[in-house]
Structure 1
Amino acid sequence: MKFFLDTANIAEIREAVELGVLDGVTTNPSLMAKEGVRGVDSILGHYRHICEIVDGDVSAEVIATDYSGIIREGEVLADLHPNIVVKVPMIRDGVKAIRYFSDKGIKTNCTLVFSAGQALLAAKAGATYVSPFVGRLDDIGADGLQLVEQIVQIYGNYGYETQVLAASVRHVPHLIQCAEIGADVVTCPLSVILGLLNHPLTDKGLATFLADYAKVNA
């Protein structure tokens, strides 16, 4: 499984890189704004900066919702760096644009996926990644993890190469369950990745070991 960080925060990205487990980054204009990055030139520059830090795919989202606008913005983003993946919304013109990008050899991430049917369309169009939103489905009483499992099964049935990128992953159980059901990628905050380190028996065992060492070497 690949670990992507869902952020535009450079310090968090560097920390995940230094931990040695980061495979990529997903980000969007909302996350950019959260870091105070505003204006087209600043946003494009920030994408480049992230690509210089991360040795892996970096999803950069288009703003346009019409076909020509998505193509125009996506080509600008793709030209920034070889690591860029153009993030396209799951809408009619978005699916058409994914096919265009796929034919041009431009990597894509189909975002805002909330059903197996949407995921099937994205794969048929040639998306590199498809992003079902686990937490947002849970918020409305649906089962986000069940959707991820369903998509994994459908893709396996027909040999689609589109990778299942579980998004809106909010806590460690989400991540572990995504791994169990075969998601190719999870994207999440740094806190979720760091949460994998924690277990009370690890803390207890380390404390005992250090106490015993101190006794022997007193």
Structure 2
Amino acid sequence: MKFFIDTANLEEIKTAKSWGCLAGVTTNPSLYAKTGGKLADFEGHMLRIAELCEGLPVSAESTATTTEGMIEEGRRLAALAPNIVVKLPICAEGLAATHQLAQEGIKVNMTLIFSVTQALMACSAGARYVSPFVGRFDDIAEDGVGQLADIIQAVKNYYGPDHTEVIAASLRTPRHVAQAALLGSDIATVPFAALEKCMRHPLTDRGLAAFEADWKKVQGLA
């Protein structure tokens, strides 16, 4: 399973990239707003992320609400850099825009997926990625991991990764990430804080502390 980072923060992206496990970036308007970014610099910021992640897919989300607007904005975003993927919501307008953009060779990440039927319709429209959400199901006391399992199975039944990859999204914890991997998700997109937690374990911390203490004894420092 590949790791994407779900952020628009350049420093977080640089740090995750330095760990050697970063395979892509996903962003959205809310994440961009958290950086303090302004409307006039949105495309410039997406370009900076794309340049920082040269060769890795970077999802930049359209904020248009009509099919024509999504197509126009999608073309503009895709033209910024060859690794930019246009992110569109699952809806009638988004499906029509995805169909057109896919015919033009522009990759689309269809987001806000919450059901098998939504995922399959996105695949049929030509989406390169589908992003089913997990954590938001948990927020309403439903089984987000179970829904993810169904979507992964359905997509794999009819489409291979060369056509559409599943991005497990809205992952909140290392447990979510592990479950996505065990289910066979192609990709997990993870906030920086959760990605940090994925490398940590209390037994690892305890082991490192013991090694350090023993080495101090060897050096005569303890």
Q: TM-score range by the shorter chain?
A: over 0.9
Offset, 1:159? 3.0
Query: Is the CA contact 2:173–2:194 (under 8 Å) kept in the aligned structure 1?
Result: yes
1:211 maps to 2:213:
yes
* 2:82 alignment partner, SS class: coil
For residue 22 of structure 1, what is the amino acid of its counterpart? L
Q: Identify the residue that residue 2 of structure 1 maps to in structure 2.
A: 2
- TM-score for both structures, normalised by structure 1: 0.96
CA distance, structure 1, for counterparts of residue 159 and residue 74 of structure 2: 27
Q: Which 10-residue stretch deviates more, 158-167 or 12-21?
A: 158-167
* 1:5 alignment partner, SS class: strand
Q: 1:184-203 maps to which residues of 2 (within 5 A)?
A: 184-203=186-205
Q: Identify the residue that residue 44 of structure 1 maps to in structure 2.
A: 43
CA distance, structure 2, for counterparts of residue 142 and residue 95 of structure 1: 26
Unaligned stretches of 5+ residues in structure 2: none
Q: Equivalent of 2:165, from 154, 163, 166?
A: 163
CA distance, structure 2, for counterparts of residue 159 and residue 184 of structure 1: 12
CA distance, structure 1, for counterparts of residue 199 and residue 89 of structure 2: 34
Runs of 4+ with deviation above 6 angstroms? none
Q: Identify the residue that residue 30 of structure 2 maps to in structure 1.
A: 30
CA distance, structure 2, for counterparts of residue 89 and residue 155 of structure 1: 18
* 2:68 alignment partner, SS class: helix
Offset, 1:81? 0.3
CA distance, structure 2, for counterparts of residue 36 and residue 210 of structure 1: 41
CA distance, structure 2, for counterparts of residue 108 and residue 36 of structure 1: 26
* 2:22 alignment partner, SS class: coil
**Cα deviation code 1:109-133 (max 9, x no counterpart):** 0011111100010011110110111
**Cα deviation code 1:69-127 (max 9, x no counterpart):** 11011000000001100001100111111111111111100011111100010011110
Offset, 1:28? 1.4
Query: Is the CA contact 2:119–2:155 (under 8 Å) kept in the aligned structure 1?
Result: no
Q: Percent identity, please.
A: 50
- TM-score for both structures, normalised by structure 2: 0.94
Query: Is the CA contact 2:170–2:189 (under 8 Å) kept in the aligned structure 1?
Result: yes
Q: Identify the residue that residue 142 of structure 2 maps to in structure 1.
A: 142
CA distance, structure 2, for counterparts of residue 203 and residue 141 of structure 1: 33
Query: Is the CA contact 1:148–1:164 (under 8 Å) kept in the aligned structure 2?
Result: no
CA distance, structure 2, for counterparts of residue 114 and residue 202 of structure 1: 36
For residue 92 of structure 2, what is the amino acid of its counterpart? R
Offset, 1:63? 1.0
Superposition RMSD on alpha carbons, in Å? 1.1
